[in-house]
Each structure stands twice: as structure tokens, then as C-alpha cells.
Amino acid sequence: MQKLRTNLVDTSHTFMICRRKDIGFSVYPKNTKICGCIVQKWQIRLFLPIPTRAEQPSKALELLFLIQKMKNIFLLLLGLCIVCQPVLAQKNKATQAKRKPLTRFTKTMMALNRVANLPNAAQRKDAVADFWEEMVSEGNVPYISGDSVAFLYKGEADSVFFHGDFDGWSARPEGFQSRARRVGKTDIWLLKASFPSAARLDYKIVVNDRWILDPANPFQQWGGAGPNSELRMPAWHIEPATVPNYDIVRGNLSENIRIKSRKLGYDVQYQVYTPADYEDLRNLPTIYLTDGQEYSSSQMGSMITVLDNLIANKEIKPVIAVFIDPRNPDTLSQNRREKELLLNDKFVDFVVTELVPEVDYNFKTSRKAADRAMMGLSWGGLSTAYFGYKASHTFSMLGLQSPEFGDKPEIYTFYEQSPKLPISRIFMSTGTIRDTEKSARRMKEIMEKKGYIVQYREVPEGHSWGNWRALIDEPLIYFFAR
């Protein structure tokens, strides 16, 4: 029996083969090779038997019936393919878009693996040296692309860990994996991680149990215990208010002033910032800061620079700032902050009944509680909340940065059970990477239910001066805007 091949329709949506015994049709994609020839466009071809003369009457009817049945099936399938094609195309585009940000990162990791697995030792050594030199010279250590990070260290070692804000500065069985792995037969160690694109984090490298700064990373952030290496993700930026402007008239920071406290039973030292043109001003609002020696430090809080810039740009009124130093004036290595800041009534009494009157007497301050703010970080944030509870008649504005409420959870109860106090403004901020976000959110909810006005801020950072310094301008503007 001969076969007749007939073209029915041209399309560009699907491909299939459908047969019933020796009757069927095929759909050939564009550029398909058929019998040595290239199909220039998609084709549907129907294959039919040619009946003998004796079979023609009955076979003709059967063939017509089959053709109609196959046509209906084909049209249904063709319609489904036409409908599905845009969905599949969109899904494919979405998949490609999702993978695109990792392309550069993946290529770099592949290049490192190729270099690390060169079979010739001498070639491998030279290639590794060239790879590392290029990464360091281009500022690509750590290597960052999108939200992906490759922490890298080069050197012989038995073990390498990366600890920082992201793991609470210690190896933990859950969450972030801090141990780096050696890459092939090289002396390069690698740890991959992922962080929000606007994150900024402190870290150190631990090589054979020895803590070091990242020797290939020039960025550092100082803290109370010294410098750390700094990871800057692509969308993070330096806060302009923290950058010194030498073209403006700047304020003045006094030398250390010592006060003998009867309430505490020891001497306390502090410094006072007075704004530009102080001689011509009077009745100035005041902000008091715990951990004052760090707030005023150019390596940590840079608050003197922030005040100068905001006042010069007329974003805030001229302000006096009082920086309270918790260290023993005679032995600076002795820090009394834990004793003073963990809900210490004697410290509150010292500030309210001894320090504030002395500052008001010696400087041109406003005596109104409405013009006076208290601010602190970590335990200082906890202490500031306690000042609001105990001394709102003296401080009507509170600034809390990464407040450590969890160390004294009774502070929640104080605000829940007390009547609403005369606190006019509260600023609260926290990082979201192993910082105080859980306790800060809880306190924010408690305060707002009581009717307090809370300006709240979260940033993808940890418990670090890099976090706090970049936000100092916000409470200052909130409290003292012109």
C-alpha cells in the first residue's frame, strides 16, 4: 500500500507525533532535517494510506472519519500550546532574571576553582598569585556581587574562621557557618555568605585561633575594644553628615571636666560641646549622652562632626551636648558602665540632681525639660529608657540606639504599668543582624500602645558603631529641627 503525505497547516507553537496504525500526522519544528532537506518553517504533515480500488468505498468513509477525529484532537492540543507559550516564556524570563545577579559572582568563583585545580603545581602557584594580586588591587576582598559575599583569606593555616556581627562573634551550631574551607590545593580560604544589599557589618578572621584584621581589606570600623574589619555591601553608603566639612564654622569640645558625685561616691568626668557662635546664643537645648567618650570620638560616633554639619546646614537649632564618660578618670581602663547603666537609681539621681544643675549653671542652656534629651546605646539605650521612666520631669526626649532591654526585662513592665509620662519624643533604632531587633520591637509596641510618639528605625547591620554613627543625625533632627 502506498502512502500519501499532505501538508495541512503551518504553525510555530508545538511539536508532536500522533499515529494510529499506519495513519498519523507529524509536526516538524523549524530547521528540522527531513530526508536530507531542512524544513524552513514549522510544518504539520498528515500521513494516509492510499486504498486499493476494491477498498475505496468503505476505506474512504473510514478515512474521512479518522481525519475529522484527528483534526479535532490536533486543534485542541495546538490551542493549549498557543495559550501556554506566553506563560512558559514569562516563567523562563523570570528564571533568567532571578539567576542574573549571581552570574558575576559565580563566574569569579569558577575562575578561582579553575586556578586552584590546575594539575601543574608551578603553574597553579603562579596562577593563584596572579588571581590574588588582581582581587586585592581591585578592592575585591571580600568579593561582593549583589547580595552574595565571598570572604577570602590567603595564607597557610590549619583552620580559618570568619566571625563578626553576622554570627554574634562566635561559632554557633545553628545559623551562620563561620568555618572557611581551603580552595583546592591552594593557600586560599573561602567562606560564602549572603547578606542584604544595604548591609554593613564588622568582622575579624580567626587563623589557628588567632584573631586578626583582614589584611586584604582596607575598611575598618572602631569599637570600644579596638578596630574591626568592615564589610560594605553595594547599596550601603556613608552618611554625609558624618563627613567633616572644613569650610564651615565649627563648634568647640571642652577639655574633660571632673565632678565629684555624692550620689555615686566617686568622681565622674564629662565633656561639653558648644555650637559655633556660642557667645551670641542663649537658652540652648541640651542632649546628654552616656558612653560619651565614644559618641564624641572621630573613630566611633563622630558626633561632633554631625552636630557641626547639621547646625551649619540649618537642619537643627544650635545645641549643647554633654558627653558623660563612664570610665574612672584616674584609671581609664576601669569602665563603670555596667554598674551605672543597668537601671541604677544612684546614677539617675547623679545626673538629675548633680550633673544637670552644674551644666545649667556653667553653660547657656534652657532649663526646660522640653528642651532636654537623654541618649545612649546598648546598655545606654536601656538606661535612657529608665531615665524616661524615672526622670521625665528632667528629660522629655529619649534616644535609644540598639537598646539592650533583654538584660533587664523589668523595663517592659515599668512602661506597661505606669501611666503615660510627659515624654514628648522617643527615637529608637536597631540593627536587624543579630542586634536588639526583637526587644526593640517589643518596647516600641508597648510605648505606642501607651500613646507615646516613637520614631523607629531598623537597618541591616549589627551591634556596632558603624550602625549607630550613621543614624545619629536622625534623632538630632527629630529632637531639635528648626
Sequence ranges of the domains in the chain: 3-100, 117-232, 240-480
Query: Model's pTM, two decimal places?
Result: 0.78
Encoded amino acid at 438, one letter: K
Count Cβ atoms within 10 A of the Cβ of residue 226 and give its class: 0-12 exposed, 13-18 middle, 19 or more buried: exposed
Q: Which pLDDT tens digits describe the chain residue by residue (482 residues)?
A: 444 343 444 444 444 444 444 555 555 555 555 544 444 544 555 555 555 555 555 555 565 566 566 666 656 655 655 555 665 556 666 555 555 545 789 999 999 999 999 999 999 999 999 999 999 999 999 999 999 999 999 999 999 999 999 999 986 656 678 999 999 999 999 999 999 999 999 999 999 999 999 999 999 999 999 999 999 999 999 999 999 999 999 999 999 999 999 999 999 999 999 999 999 999 999 999 999 999 999 999 999 999 999 999 999 999 999 999 999 999 999 999 999 999 999 999 999 999 999 999 999 999 999 999 999 999 999 999 999 999 999 999 999 999 999 999 999 999 999 999 999 999 999 999 999 999 999 999 999 999 999 999 999 999 999 999 999 999 999 999 99
Please state the length of the chain.
482
Residue with cell 509536526: 27
The Cα 471–Cα 294 span in angstroms is 15
90: how many CB neighbours lie within 10 A of its CB? 10
pLDDT, one tens digit per residue, over 100-124 is 545 789 999 999 999 999 999 999 9
CATH number assigned to the domain covering 117-232: 2.60.40.10
Dihedral pair phi/psi, residue 127, rounded to 5°: -65, -40
CATH 3.40.50.1820 fits 240-480, yes or no: yes
C-alpha cell at 460: 541591616
The Cα 299–Cα 466 span in angstroms is 10
- Beta bridge partners of residue 325, listed in sequence order: 269
Dihedral angle of Cα 456, 461, 464, 466, to the nearest 10 degrees = -90
Got the DSSP string for 107-158?
Answer: HHHHHHHHHHT-SSHHHHHHHHHHHHHHHHHTT-SSEEETTEEEEEEES--S
